[in-house]
Chain A
């Protein structure tokens, strides 16, 4: 069996003697016998490191790693610079806990302060927290932070990622906010529905931009409608797109959230990722989660500390703004390194490459009979429809080790391109599908 217990037989005897008991069993005498496990756990025996390695490698080998990928839908394959992996595998960053003891946690605290600054820069907002679990929970927390005594209704656009909508829905089952789903019209949020239905009980309106289908929303118009009835405007954004696109602030948002995964985190079968949350200074004290602030030490030196804790659960208990007490610190560290490595120019370049390649593939696919559904501008995702069955199209690509777009249904596919996709790969997709059309 494997073990990480360093106490030897001799240590154990000395320790029991010091405690003043005879056996290890005496340590558990306060547990009534009738609840104790009889006969041990029904589990396989432990293993040596080499055996464990073989077992885990065997499982990993059962997964297929696609060398070429055109799938996004909430998780994106981007280039991750080596420096990111190097920094986050540092043993100290990896094994530290939440920086409660500021004097020996300045490294983690400063990295979060830098991360907060970068998120503010990206989104154009005043304040960022230290991150939450992922983009979906960030959206749900953002909706919850807009609630007040008289405003308990949340409008969420159905053009947002379905898993984000589902997560918000679950949180609303908890906090008993009323959720109103805004229908989709021509691939974007239905503004007429908003005009007719927003009222003074509305706490917030949430849209995703670019939305699930890759489309750009008329975000400013949504923001204006929300503000007319004194509701908050929340935008879910793709952080890479902010290299090119207007910031949520420029569109008039009060809160900006999103998933930070594209900024240096691997696909990893869905996690760990990170949710970023930022807002206007007006909403600062409603922002949930950890926040790091700058201050001075006794000798006047600049230092960083967890702050505004009066909002938090360990002080406020049931009156806290949220129960959240951790962040995704190591992921926030990765984001900080990624954005520093890319710089503003690099991020703009990545965003531009994403857009350009998505348009190149869309054009190629439309040449061979797929209809591109997106009517207006799109970022790095787009939807095609075709009379060819989606599963058949994707199967043909899979045979060539290509993970095609995400099938929305049997006729529509959601494609994604990033800077990782080369012209040659996209030409190959078009060529394979062109051939497939002939054989159909």
Chain B
């Protein structure tokens, strides 16, 4: 039941005191005439309404969440508590600088940690999400080429295994996209790359480890080819959780990166945001970064880089998300950061080893923090698809892996367990996967009908798109 359907005229909360100055009404034809319908409820109903909605939702706190590429690790509670300190929440973004030194210290400390982890020289926290970071990073590349009078560099090379945001961000930044096919193992085809680069190349966007969970061994050669053609290399940080403390994008030859603080650095996803898409770059791009970079030692202040691309968002980004990420960074430190990554890789390989006798792995070799299964054979043999197995997982209290991605693997399921799960949790999940495999062979129909034990069953998505009903009609 919607909150609007629980509304009854006359119910309300008592929130504001009576007005203590003479009332002023606006005139001049600016008064609202259209009636405003908002729910009229008691606080008790309101509170229960959301408790009920929470019951119909699955978060990391409710169970295993091996959603590939999304790094659904445990969100430590101290992070939230620190982000709730009134010294952070009650501060106006336009207060005098001497009254917000603690906020600037947060930004600068986070920048220092993350620059060291990624091998970058400078970092901005203005972008609010991964895709926003990509857009920002691409604009840095564009500004760089324009400053060198190379406006002819209009193409961004993106492997066909890339995240969908990469080509979409490139298009938003005014670039045309050159998609190059990956090799069978999902890695970059060096020959195809050499053919693709040229005088019109602005740069390459890459994830390493790539979207099939493999580290591209040729990475130094790849970035060299792009640089020699005059292009720049962009690192999509979605998969950084595999390699922190082992290898740095900066050392692989990347010039600019974005991080997803809400993935790698444990800040909660909030049902789809707010996140933070911090962008780091090497010195050659630093003069183009967005405005309001943090500077200073002891006394901090903001500076605008000399040839800044401007502003990509109001103020300084999703600040409280940065507070959470910094809390996590301080906790883990020098040893804890690589420990997190190595164990993310351990957990992924363990699960893969336990499943590969039954399920076909897209690439049967040591993987990084995630692995991709192809259910092509299972579908052929039993008619049970990646979607059906996913829906079967729902009935077992497990959030399914990422489905049908990367696009280069048929019937793909991309599994990312993360480092914060116990061996017992992985064993239980493996057990469920194996049972579903058995069920697929014995009773395929039951999986076509799954899920049966969730608040609702499969929804008619076609109807939703064909006859969009996007709001409640108030009668």
Contact with A along B410-430 (1 / 0, CB 8 A): 000000000111110000000
With A323-B134, A353-B19, A359-B24 already in contact, the answer to whether A330 and B273 are too (CB < 8 A) is yes
Q: Which residues of A lie under 8 Å from residue B26 when comparing CB positions?
A: 216, 244-245, 355, 377, 379
Cβ A86 vs Cβ B47 within 8 A? yes
Whether B39 lies near A343 (C-beta < 8 A) is yes
| Docked pose: A37 CA to B337 CA in angstroms | 13
Most buried by A among B20, B22, B33: B20
For the complex, what is the distance from the CA of A126 to the CA of B21, rounded to whole Å?
37
Interface size class of A (residues with CB under 8 A): 35 or more
Contact at A49–B165, with CB atoms within 8 Å? no
For residue A94, give the distance in angstroms from its CB to the closest CB of chain B. 5
| Binding stretch for chain A, among B94-102, B188-196, B436-444 | B94-102
Residues facing B in A72-92 (CB within 8 A) are 73-75, 77, 79, 81, 83, 86-87, 89-92
Q: A327 at interface (Cβ–Cβ under 8 A)? A: yes
| CB <8 Å contact, B56 and A270 | no
Are A133 and B128 interface neighbours, CB within 8 A?
A: yes
* Cα of A58 to Cα of B326 in the assembled complex, Å: 13
- Can you name the residue of chain B whose Cβ is closest to the Cβ of A60? B87
Docked-complex contact B164 and A317, CB < 8 angstroms = yes
**Which residues of B from 52 to 102 have beta carbons under 8 Å from A?**
52-62, 65, 67, 70, 72-76, 78, 80-82, 85-96, 99-102
Q: Which residues of B contact A14 (CB under 8 A)?
A: 423
Q: Is the CB of B339 within 8 A of A325?
A: no
Q: How distant is the Cα of A342 from the Cα of B317 in the complex, in angstroms?
A: 28
Nearest CB in chain B to that of A357: its residue: B21
Measured between beta carbons, the chain A residues less than 8 angstroms from B468 are 284, 291, 293, 307-308
- In the complex, whether A103 has a CB less than 8 A from a CB of chain B is yes
Contact string, A386-421, partner B, CB cutoff 8 A, digits 1/0?
000000001000100001001000000000000100
In the complex, what's the smallest C-beta–C-beta distance from A363 to chain B, in angstroms? 9
Q: Which of A113-141 contact B (CB under 8 A)?
A: 113-114, 116-118, 120-122, 124, 126-128, 130-131, 133-137
Contact A95 B269 (CB under 8 A): yes
A253 within 8 A of B: no
Task: Report if A104-B91 is in contact (Cβ < 8 Å); known contacts: A137-B313, A323-B135.
Answer: no
C-alpha spacing A345/B10, complex, angstroms = 10
Interface size on B, residues (CB 8 A): 195
Which residue of B32, B138, B333 is within 8 Å of A45 (Cβ)? B333
In the complex, A149 has a CB within 8 A of chain B: no
**CB <8 Å contact, B339 and A5:** yes
Q: Bound state CA distance, A308 and B464, in angstroms? A: 8
Within 8 A of B (CB), among A279-329: 284, 290-299, 301, 303, 305, 307-310, 312-320, 322-329
- Contact B105 A12, beta carbon cutoff 8 Å: no
Highest count of chain B CB atoms <10 Å: which of A176, A216, A295, A342: A295
Instruction: Give the docked Cα–Cα distance between A122 and B36 (Å).
Output: 7
* B12 near A305: Cβ-Cβ < 8 Å: no
B144 within 8 A of A: no
What 0/1 pattern do residues 221 to 254 of A give for CB contact below 8 A with B?
0000000000000000000001111110110000
Q: Is B459 a contact partner of A303 (Cβ separation < 8 A)?
A: yes
Q: Does B122 contact A (CB under 8 A)?
A: no
- 0/1 interface trace, chain A 1-45, chain B, CB 8 Å (1 if under): 111111100011011101111001011111110111100111111
Contacts of B21 in A (CB 8 A): 356-357, 360, 423, 426
The answer, yes or no, to whether A376 is at the interface (CB within 8 Å) is yes
Cα A356 to Cα B101 in complex, Å, equals: 34
CB distance from A338 to the nearest CB of B (A): 10
User: CB < 8 Å: which of A163, A310, A377 contacts B314?
Assistant: A163
Q: Is the CB of B72 within 8 A of A339?
A: no
Query: How many Å from the CB of B425 to the closest CB on chain A?
Result: 9
**Complex-state Cα separation, A426 to B165, whole angstroms:** 49
A150 CB-CB contact with B under 8 Å: no
**Which of chain B's residues have a CB closer than 8 A to the CB of A62?**
87, 101-102, 105
Contacts of B321 in A (CB 8 A): 271-272
Q: Contact between A293 and B174 (Cβ–Cβ < 8 Å)?
A: no
**Please, which residue of chain A has its CB at the minimum distance from the CB of B311?**
A166
Chain B nearest CB, measured from A96 CB (Å): 4
Given A6-B422, A318-B171, A331-B274: A30 in contact with B215 (beta carbons within 8 A):
yes
Given A27-B346, A101-B400, A271-B128, A65 and B456 contact (CB-CB distance below 8 Å):
no
Contact assessment for B30 and A270 in the assembled complex, using a CB-CB cutoff below 8 Å: no
Residues of B within 8 A of A75 (CB): 92-94, 314-315
Which of B13, B80, B132, B319 lies in contact with A269, CB distance below 8 A?
A: B319
Q: How far is the CA of A104 from the CA of B67 in the complex (A)?
A: 14
Contact of A271 among B20, B24, B316, B456 (CB under 8 A): B316
Q: Which of B58, B109, B315 is within 8 Å of A92, CB to CB?
A: B58
Q: A153 contacts which chain B residues (CB < 8 A)?
A: none
Q: Chain B nearest CB: distance from A6 CB in Å?
A: 5
Give which listed residue, B85, B92, B319, contacts A71 with CB less than 8 A.
B92
Using Cβ atoms and an 8 Å threshold, which residues of chain B touch A366?
A: none
Would you call A432 an interface residue if the criterion is a C-beta within 8 Å of the partner chain's C-beta atoms? no
Instruction: Output the least CB separation between A364 and chain B (Å).
Output: 10
User: Which of chain A's residues have a CB closer than 8 A to the CB of B13?
Assistant: 81, 83, 341-343, 346
- For residue B380, which residues in chain A have a CB less than 8 angstroms away from its CB? none
Question: With the chains together, A77 CA to B91 CA distance in Å?
Answer: 10
A30 touches B85 (CB 8 A): no
User: Which of B31, B273, B394, B456 sits near A245, CB closer than 8 Å?
Assistant: B31
Task: Check if B434 is an interface residue, CB within 8 A of chain A.
Answer: no
Residue of A15, A21, A250, A269 most packed against chain B (CB within 10 A): A269
Not counting A37-B247, A137-B132, A339-B38, a sample of 4 additional A-B residue pairs whose C-beta atoms are within 8 angstroms of each other reads A74-B314, A104-B56, A136-B314, A336-B3
Closest 6 pairs (CB-CB, A-B): A270-B315, A60-B87, A46-B333, A330-B270, A62-B102, A270-B93
| 8 A-B pairs in the complex with CB atoms less than 8 angstroms apart | A4-B76, A35-B252, A47-B331, A49-B78, A52-B82, A101-B400, A313-B165, A355-B24
